[in-house]
Amino acid sequence: MKNRYVVIMAGGKGERFWPQSRLKRPKHLLPIVGDGPMLSQTIERLEGLVPPERVYVITNAEQRDAVLECCPSLLPDKVIGEPEGRDTAAAVGLAALLVEAQGEDSAFALLPADHVIDDHEGFRSVLEAAFEAAEEDASLVTIGIKPDFPSTGYGYLCRGEELNAENGRVLSRVDRFVEKPDLSKAEEYLQAGNYFWNAGMFVWRPSVILSALGKYAPELSAGLAELKEGWELSGSLAESMSKVYPTLEKISIDFAVMEKAQGVVMLESAFDWDDVGEWPAIARHYAKDGSGNVFKGMGVAIDSTENLTFSEEGHCISLLGVKDLIVVQSADATMICHKDCAQQVKELAQQVSKSHPELS
């Protein structure tokens, strides 16, 4: 059996989690849910699936030192800093080049750095089946999450024909990818039973995904070929990336390939999962008091209901006579917003960054 690899995507600023998440200390390096940084939790889930020397992390160049400090099990040459974020398709292509350079067309899993999964054994079992499917043929394998509420914040996969079983799990065709729906559509998908949340987890071989990029995203594919050529000529990936990477087409892997490609297959998850994409999501993971308030860190509430607070050690957030607020404290900034405005936190972070660049 060929070696297997995992590439973790750990870029971005996590602006929806401002003021805790910043460019140099983003969401995946914070204990948004749980006691340890989200990235270290992701790496811990891989134990027994792939060894540390076959785990790559693609991050922002400005975050690379922080990633290594946060996760000492990572090998420095396996932590790759993008000189500029170019969305997920470029990161996927880079990941394929990294694994391809090992000399085998080995399957690799591409995973986000900041998801919440408590069932590690179930997670590894599904990934094992996905690896087997990717190794058997030229499939683009993705993981579907069985929805348990009508989410308008996730994209969906429409499951089609059942193909065969891998490691005891049913492999099905993906008929189509669906963008984030409105509430009525999300309720329809939930009732239909054949729609799954798109978790953004993929498994494939370098030859398969690079071929798909060549077919469906030729401009990006040409840029990746230039990057590879520069790497081979100079012997320095960093040097080639500094020249070529900022010129790569900026597009998501879903738009570039997955929504167009044939041969996309899906394994249904057998584990709990939460993308935790904005502040209100963390309330799902902590106990509420008698009035529905959730405190991560110290907090006190009087005549207050359904609030969420997040504070750093040694800081107490006190609430009096308020409802449906999110209050987040960091060393140099405090944010207060209504829960209904949570999706605008990114916009707020960008506005603060313009006025006070030191807070970005």
C-beta of residue 116 within 8 angstroms of C-beta of residue 36: no
Last residue of a domain, one of 235, 268, 301: 268
Say yes or no: 209 and 182 in one domain.
Answer: yes
Contacts 24+ apart (CB under 8 A), 188-196: 189/147, 189/150, 189/156, 190/147, 190/149, 190/150, 194/158, 194/159, 195/147, 195/156, 195/157, 195/158, 195/159, 196/144, 196/145, 196/146, 196/147, 196/156, 196/157, 196/159, 196/266, 196/268
Would you say residue 238 lies in a domain? yes
What would the two tokens of residue 163 be?
């193909």
Task: Say how far apart CA 55 and CA 6 lie, in whole Å.
Answer: 5
Say yes or no: 151 and 203 in one domain.
Answer: yes
Would you say residue 35 lies in a domain? yes
Say yes or no: 341 and 222 in one domain.
Answer: no
Say yes or no: 283 and 261 in one domain.
Answer: no
Instruction: Return the axis-axis angle of helices 206-216 and 218-234, rounded to nearest 10°.
Output: 130
Say yes or no: 231 and 332 in one domain.
Answer: no
Say yes or no: 204 and 339 in one domain.
Answer: no
DSSP class of 76: G
Last residue of a domain, one of 222, 241, 268: 268
- Count structural domains, the chain: 2
Nearest to 73 by CA among 104, 41, 35: 41
Say yes or no: 171 and 79 in one domain.
Answer: yes
- Is the four-CA dihedral 343, 348, 353, 356 of positive or negative sign? negative
- pLDDT value of residue 132: 93
What would the two tokens of residue 323 be?
């409802």
Say yes or no: 228 and 191 in one domain.
Answer: yes
Last residue of a domain, one of 268, 294, 309: 268
Assessment of whether the complete model's pTM goes beyond 0.75: yes
Amino acid letter for position 133: A
Say yes or no: 205 and 147 in one domain.
Answer: yes
Mean pLDDT (10-residue bins), the chain, 360 residues: 90 89 89 90 95 96 94 95 95 98 95 94 94 93 94 92 76 92 94 94 97 97 98 96 97 94 91 90 92 95 97 94 97 95 93 91
Would you say residue 211 lies in a domain? yes
At which residue do the structure tokens 């972070």 appear?
A: 349
Neighbour-count burial for 206-225, b at 16+ CB within 10 Å, e otherwise = bebbbbbbeebbeebbebbb
Which residue range(s) make up the domain with 294? 279-359
Q: What is the CATH number of the domain that holds 199?
A: 3.90.550.10
Nearest to 106 by CA among 78, 142, 135: 135
- pLDDT value of residue 214: 97
Say yes or no: 177 and 77 in one domain.
Answer: yes
Would you say residue 283 lies in a domain? yes
- Residue range 185-213, pLDDT digits in tens: 999 999 999 999 999 999 999 999 999 99
Say yes or no: 263 and 306 in one domain.
Answer: no
Would you say residue 274 lies in a domain? no
Would you say residue 273 lies in a domain? no
Say yes or no: 182 and 37 in one domain.
Answer: yes
